[in-house]
Copies of this chain bind each other. A is one copy, B any other.
């Protein structure tokens, strides 16, 4: 007989399911440690770049953090359809088995989820990592890249939340941590931060155009004289 799974709805069939082997505390602990290392280490190391402002240094950390998650963790999900069957299992598989308690469409491999995650892993992952380089080197495409990548994250996450309103079944396992913690809180991060980053880059782009337009009209005035 198949092992019972912890996901909702209970009617979901997952033949060959291998139960979680790591505790929730261990899985979340590793993730929290990774987050702290990236932000503390990244912020500290970028202090060497004297031209970077504090907010740019935080953004370097954000893009590194989100880029690694998109590319490796979400990429793993996209390209490992049988992650919940693996035995022995690994940390990435355990993360997705645990996250599935917040949204069973992950183990159930819902088409829209796989597609959104696919675009996120393959397009936005590398784009986010390129944004790290672009900020450090103050590239002229830095703000276009940050705007484009943030809007991509926002599109995907909006769609992710919106699809739920069309589904009548309960997708989260019982317990507030799964719905409010995993499903709402974790995903709200990728709504709020991209919105802030997109607005900031939008503002910088407008300022750059205003200053280059002023320069042009100054040039034109000089010629007239």
Contacts and interface: CB of A to CB of B under 8 A. Distances in A.
A144 B115 CA distance: 26
A148 interface: yes
A44 interface: no
A32 interface: no
A159 to B, nearest CB: 6
A21 interface: no
A155 B119 contact: yes
Interface string A197-208: 010011001111
B202 A140 contact: no
Interface residues of A, number: 37
A209 interface: yes
Given A162-B115, A166-B111, A208 B212 contact: yes
Interface string A21-37: 00000000000000000
A210 interface: yes
Interface string A153-185: 001101100110010000000000000000000
Contacts of A140: 205-207, 209-210, 213
A70 interface: no
A19 interface: no
A141 interface: yes
Contacts of A163: 111-112, 115
26 contacts: A111-B112, A111-B166, A112-B112, A115-B159, A115-B163, A118-B162, A119-B158, A119-B159, A138-B213, A140-B205, A140-B209, A141-B206, A141-B209, A143-B205, A143-B209, A144-B202, A147-B148, A148-B148, A148-B198, A151-B151, A151-B152, A155-B155, A205-B205, A205-B208, A211-B212, A211-B215
Interface of A: 111-112, 114-116, 118-119, 138, 140-144, 147-148, 151-152, 155-156, 158-159, 162-163, 166, 198, 201-202, 205-213, 215
Pairs of residues from A and B, 10 with the lowest C-beta to C-beta distance, nearest first: A140-B209, A140-B206, A208-B208, A111-B166, A211-B212, A208-B212, A144-B205, A140-B210, A155-B155, A141-B206
